[in-house]
Chains A and B, each alone.
Chain A
Amino acid sequence: AFPTAGVAGAAMAGSVRAVARRFLSEYGGGTAGRLKALDAFLLYVLLTGALQFGYCLGVGTFPFNSFLSGFISAVGSFILGVCLRIQINPQNKGEFQGISPERAFADFLFANTILHLVVINFVG
């Protein structure tokens, strides 16, 4: 059983890498540029939020309101970005008949304004 496990493990590792490579190629080819730009933005927001959280875990929660404010800004922006991505994806056009991409973008801006109004109020 021992040599089989090693081969299977190597095969598994290889299959994971193959899956990843396949995913990346499909993604690169099949996704519109606009969506890829949005995805980059989402990745940025994610990293920012994660770093904030890591700082809080490492150094302490003082001042707590500032941490919450920043973290919620990250989380909220991420969620709104995901909403926007879903709405402007041409593949989902069937489900969002009445909402044009422009309308979705306007909604995104409006919601972000309210979110950041609250965030700035709370950051202290």
Chain B
Amino acid sequence: YLSVGPRLRLEAALSFLLLLAGAQALVPSHRLAARDLARLRAVLERPFTDVRAAYYSIVGLSSLGVRVADEKAACKFIKSHVDSSSVESLFYAAQSIQALSGCEVTISNETRELLLAAVSEDSSVTQIFHAVGALSGFGLPLASQEALSALTARLSKEESVLTTIQALETASYLSQQADLSSIVEEIEDLVARLDDLGGVYLQFEEGIETTALFVAAAYKLSDHVGTEPAIKEDQVIQLMNAIFSKKNFETLSEAFSVARAAGSLSQNRFHLPVIVVPDGAAAVSHHQPVLRLQVTNVMSQLLTQVSVKLDQAKSVSSKATVLQHLPFTLSGDFFELNFMSVKPASGYYDFSISVDGDKRFIANKVELKVKVSTEVGITNVDLSTVDKDQSIAPKTTRVAYPAKAKGSFTADSHQNFALSFQLIDVNSGAELIPHQTFVRLHNQKTGQEVVFVAEPDSKNVYKFELDTSERKTEFDSASGTYTLYLIIGDATLENPILWNVADVVVTFPEEDAPSTVQSKNLFVPKPEIQHLFREPEKRPPTVVSNTFTALVLSPLLLLLILWIKIGANISNFSFAPSTIVFHMGHAAMLGLMYVYWTQLNMFQTLKYLAILGGITFLAGNRMLAQKAVKR
């Protein structure tokens, strides 16, 4: 502590900052592993069906750095299948021929005129792209400034992600003397349109094919003009993750786009993602003390002209820094570091590794979790029977792994069985606390098994005690001879242990013994549940409701009697037509009410009511007017 100088403190601060930077930067989660590459090549190497398929295959394979199997046959195929009257077909032919070696073709004047005429404001962006690409592929002269103005004019009318990507690629064919900056700015606009998925993936909503084509076009144009593309480091990694997450290629165009993206991300002037791949699982042990890493680009091509350095190795459990600032040594294809030389304790370690060698590297600071395994040894294994009354001294037997104790031990109502042991790291001698320390008792006759956990005390000595009165329920009070096993296991142990230590005769008091040992079978059918249907509402007996119905109708009788008493009569009834119609209509309306109750719905009723009501109203109006006049 006294000798901590200012220089060391500065180094500590710098490494802390480096660690922070590494922690904040995104790590690639997907790449084109060898298997994926093989699948991609298989799709691209299918026999050609037309010029378009030939273009996808040839240019795709060349992006991966692979030559077509039979170049002469490919050349002949293109020459025979190209359609000289279609700009698109000419584009595919021109680009494929450029990728093949030793394939020559002569262009007629008509074809040249056709292509030059297509480069105008009247063609769509796609047509301009194909025409410019064809002219460039055939090596024909092209007026870059005019093409650029036609392209910009057209692009402002057809604003979409795909046309913008095509414009980017078109600009990469134009001469640098034209001012391509307006097209280069489109890269930034397109990046803003990408969708961020969970902070891990970045892709266009149009899909992965579009995203891959964008990456290829953006880097092609940037390499052509010499300015770094406006894509941040994290965004490049997110794009990588999205594009290379696609492992199955249904169409040739999908495979083509992924191949081009892979090609552009492994060879451009500005951004080169690197991937650090550990050899097998990142684990070291006494038998295998060396951590081996491979550094590749996105296409799983090895990069050996780089320097790999360990910035920091920290223990996950104790957070102590075990190693700092150590370079890896290159041996063949692998970068190696002998981690066991610092004699680390077993467990997990966080390695911060940085890859340097090229200014273009991105994602070159990685975090790797390394496991250090060891072997466990059991020592000081003591088996004893302890008297509950403590009147007799405990009998202790020492056993050495992997022998079995001779004789058997008893545990009954006045004796407990006890087991104690210690676990040490065989290589360092330090005490170990593994995750799994189980004591398993197996009834030889019934096949019952009971498992307990042995707990360490403060001095890291493991103890287990079997008290028959306490453990009745676990054993179901089944007395008999049990075989005792010790199970030791952990992720960082290379030698998990299953050791038959001894036989223990366990006797439970007689009254608790079950008649038969019932095996708890979980897979028998459970008791059936009877569905309880909804109880109907409680109703009064029919007699009661019938009585009340009659009762409710009785006031009607009273009414009639009263009316007769008062002297109400229908002597003034005039048989005028309006009167008759009114009364018939009114009666019909009352009848409609009854029919509504039994059969109709509201809409039908309203319809009939409107008709009947109308008639009744008119007739009633007439009738009442006549009545009023008479009065």
Chain A residues proximal to chain B, CB less than 8 Å: 33, 36-37, 40-41, 43-44, 47-48, 51-52, 55, 59-60, 62-63, 100, 102-103, 105-106, 109, 113, 116-117, 120-121, 123
Q: Which residues of B contact A52 (CB under 8 A)?
A: 552
Q: Which residues of A contact B453 (CB under 8 A)?
A: none
Whether a CB of chain A sits under 8 angstroms from the CB of B286 is no
Q: Is the CB of A47 within 8 A of B558?
A: yes
Q: Is the CB of A62 within 8 A of B539?
A: yes
Whether a CB of chain A sits under 8 angstroms from the CB of B16 is no
Contacts A62-B538, A113-B613; A51 near B555 (Cβ below 8 A): yes
CB distance from A36 to the nearest CB of B (A): 5
Q: Which residues of B contact A37 (CB under 8 A)?
A: 563, 566, 568
CB distance from B237 to the nearest CB of A (A): 68
CA A116 to CA B544, docked complex, whole Å: 26
Q: Which residues of B contact A44 (CB under 8 A)?
A: 555-556, 558-559, 562
CA A93 to CA B84, docked complex, whole Å: 104
Write 12 A-B pairs (CB below 8 A) sorted by A numbering.
A37-B568, A44-B558, A51-B552, A51-B555, A55-B548, A55-B551, A60-B540, A109-B620, A113-B589, A117-B596, A120-B597, A121-B596
Of all A-B residue pairs in the complex, the 9 with the closest CB atoms, nearest first, are A102-B624, A44-B559, A40-B562, A47-B555, A37-B568, A59-B540, A62-B537, A36-B566, A44-B555
B567 contacts which of A33, A48, A102, A106 (Cβ < 8 Å)? A33
CB distance from B370 to the nearest CB of A (A): 75
Q: Which residues of B contact A121 (CB under 8 A)?
A: 596, 602
Q: Which residues of A contact B624 (CB under 8 A)?
A: 102-103, 105-106
Q: Which residues of A contact B563 (CB under 8 A)?
A: 37, 40
Q: Is the CB of A102 within 8 A of B625?
A: yes
Size bracket, chain B contacts: 20 to 34
Give me 11 other A-B pairs in contact (C-beta within 8 A), A37-B563, A100-B628, A123-B597 excluded. A43-B558, A44-B555, A44-B562, A51-B548, A55-B551, A103-B624, A105-B624, A106-B621, A117-B605, A120-B596, A121-B602
CB distance from A118 to the nearest CB of B (A): 10
Whether a CB of chain A sits under 8 angstroms from the CB of B359 is no
Whether a CB of chain A sits under 8 angstroms from the CB of B545 is yes
Q: Is the CB of A117 within 8 A of B593?
A: yes
Contacts A102-B624, A117-B593; A43 near B540 (Cβ below 8 A): no
State which residues 579-614 of B face A: CB under 8 Å.
586, 589, 593, 596-597, 602, 605, 609, 613
Whether a CB of chain A sits under 8 angstroms from the CB of B627 is yes
CB distance from B545 to the nearest CB of A (A): 7
Q: How many A-B residue pairs have CB under 8 A?
A: 71
Residue ID in chain B nearest A119 by CB atoms: B593
Q: Is the CB of B552 within 8 A of A48?
A: yes
CB distance from A119 to the nearest CB of B (A): 9
Interface string of B210-241 (1 = CB under 8 A from A): 00000000000000000000000000000000
CA A121 to CA B606, docked complex, whole Å: 11
Interface string of B507-549 (1 = CB under 8 A from A): 0000000000000000000000000000001111000110010
CA A63 to CA B540, docked complex, whole Å: 11
Q: Which residues of B contact A40 (CB under 8 A)?
A: 559, 562-563, 566
CA A93 to CA B544, docked complex, whole Å: 48
Q: Which residues of B contact A62 (CB under 8 A)?
A: 537-539
Residue ID in chain B nearest A42 by CB atoms: B559
CB distance from B567 to the nearest CB of A (A): 6
For A36, A102, A103, A121, the residue with the greatest tally of chain B CB atoms inside 10 Å of its CB is A102
Q: Is the CB of A109 within 8 A of B586?
A: yes
CB distance from A108 to the nearest CB of B (A): 11
CA A40 to CA B562, docked complex, whole Å: 6
Residue ID in chain B nearest A100 by CB atoms: B628
CA A64 to CA B540, docked complex, whole Å: 14
Chain B residues proximal to chain A, CB less than 8 Å: 537-540, 544-545, 548, 551-552, 555-556, 558-559, 562-563, 566-568, 586, 589, 593, 596-597, 602, 605, 609, 613, 620-621, 624-625, 627-628
Q: Which residues of A contact B566 (CB under 8 A)?
A: 33, 36-37, 40
A33 contacts which of B568, B597, B609, B628 (Cβ < 8 Å)? B568
Q: Is the CB of A55 within 8 A of B620?
A: no
CB distance from A48 to the nearest CB of B (A): 5
Residue ID in chain B nearest A104 by CB atoms: B624
CA A106 to CA B616, docked complex, whole Å: 11
Q: Is the CB of B627 within 8 A of A102?
A: yes
Q: Which residues of A contact B537 (CB under 8 A)?
A: 62-63
Q: Which residues of A contact B613 (CB under 8 A)?
A: 113
CB distance from A104 to the nearest CB of B (A): 10
CB distance from A107 to the nearest CB of B (A): 11
CB distance from B568 to the nearest CB of A (A): 4
Q: Is the CB of A51 within 8 A of B551?
A: yes
Q: Which residues of B contact A116 (CB under 8 A)?
A: 593
Residue ID in chain A nearest B545 by CB atoms: A59
CB distance from A39 to the nearest CB of B (A): 9
For A43, A59, A120, the residue with the greatest tally of chain B CB atoms inside 10 Å of its CB is A120
Q: Which residues of B contact A36 (CB under 8 A)?
A: 566
Q: Which residues of A contact B538 (CB under 8 A)?
A: 60, 62
Q: Which residues of A contact B627 (CB under 8 A)?
A: 102
Q: Which residues of A contact B602 (CB under 8 A)?
A: 121
Residue ID in chain B nearest A52 by CB atoms: B552
Q: Which residues of B contact A41 (CB under 8 A)?
A: 559
Residue ID in chain A nearest B536 by CB atoms: A62
CA A62 to CA B568, docked complex, whole Å: 39
CA A41 to CA B586, docked complex, whole Å: 18
CB distance from B13 to the nearest CB of A (A): 80
Residue ID in chain A nearest B627 by CB atoms: A102
Q: Is the CB of B555 within 8 A of A48?
A: yes
Q: Is the CB of B544 within 8 A of A59?
A: yes
Residue ID in chain A nearest B541 by CB atoms: A59
Residue ID in chain A nearest B539 by CB atoms: A62
CB distance from B574 to the nearest CB of A (A): 14
CB distance from B411 to the nearest CB of A (A): 69
CA A29 to CA B238, docked complex, whole Å: 103
CA A48 to CA B596, docked complex, whole Å: 23
Q: Which residues of A contact B544 (CB under 8 A)?
A: 59
CA A121 to CA B589, docked complex, whole Å: 14
Residue ID in chain A nearest B601 by CB atoms: A121
Q: Which residues of A contact B568 (CB under 8 A)?
A: 33, 37
Q: Which residues of A contact B539 (CB under 8 A)?
A: 60, 62
